[in-house]
Amino acid sequence: MKMLLPALRLSVVLMLVCGLLYPLVTTGVAQLLFPSQANGSLIIQNGKIIGSSLLAQEVKSPELFQPRASNANYDPTASAGSNRAVASPEYIAEMNQKLAALRQENPALPYQVPADLVTGSGSGLDPDLSPEAAEAQIPRISQATGLSKQKLAQLIQNHTQGRQLGIFGEPRVNVNELNLALIAAEE
């Protein structure tokens, strides 16, 4: 009994500190310093939430940039990679099928197709493409929208983010933000 009371008191104190105080403080600091990110980096248009800049959204229109393929069918509650070996016959057949469909939608694709146009990301929800993958879609979008290839290339360039801290990762383009800029350019 002598040891039980101090153990219970310590447990209650730790539950309050770790389970209540710490989460409240970190949430408050995040809301003060990074309110957009703390609330999910939501994209709001005309007062309505239309998505998040952190999650890819399915795009079927030939007038818009297509994101990476999603192994989760763009469902944020089902984040998943394919977990297939790249040398397996099933994976090779799937990539050939995706490549054929991509070439049918984009007849002017270069011979060397950027890999991120046919492969999914690890989470299946990555909203970013390489600048090369976005540029490969310019002929299709230009034909569908009537916007010049130079205007589309400039949109991509304006929305290309460099490496984080100048050394981590690769340059990337957020497809959600790029498509919003494209829609604005068409108006």
Rounded to whole angstroms, what are the CA distances from 139 to 64, 104, 152?
Answer: 11, 13, 9
Are 50 and 115 contained in the same domain?
Answer: yes
Are 138 and 84 contained in the same domain?
Answer: yes
Are 120 and 72 contained in the same domain?
Answer: yes
Are 96 and 156 contained in the same domain?
Answer: yes
DSSP, collapsed to helix, strand or coil, labels residue 31 as helix
**In terms of residue numbers, what domain contains 33?**
1-39
Please give the pLDDT value at position 75.
79
H/E stretch holding 174: strand 172-174
Are 86 and 52 contained in the same domain?
Answer: yes
Q: pLDDT band for position 161 (50/70/90)?
A: very high
Total number of domains constituting the chain: 2
The number of beta carbons lying within 10 Å of the beta carbon of residue 174 is 23
On the question of pLDDT at 124 being above 80, the answer is no
Q: Residue-wise over 13-49: b if at least 16 C-beta within 10 A, else e? A: eeeeeeeeeeeeeeeeeeeeeeeeeeeebebeeeeee
Please give the pLDDT value at position 19.
95
- Integer Cα distance of 10 and 104 in angstroms: 66
Are 77 and 110 contained in the same domain?
Answer: yes
Are 64 and 101 contained in the same domain?
Answer: yes
Are 32 and 65 contained in the same domain?
Answer: no
What pTM value is reported for the model?
0.77
60-79 pLDDT, tens digit per residue, is 888 999 998 887 788 787 77
Are 134 and 63 contained in the same domain?
Answer: yes
103-123 pLDDT, tens digit per residue, is 888 888 878 888 888 888 777
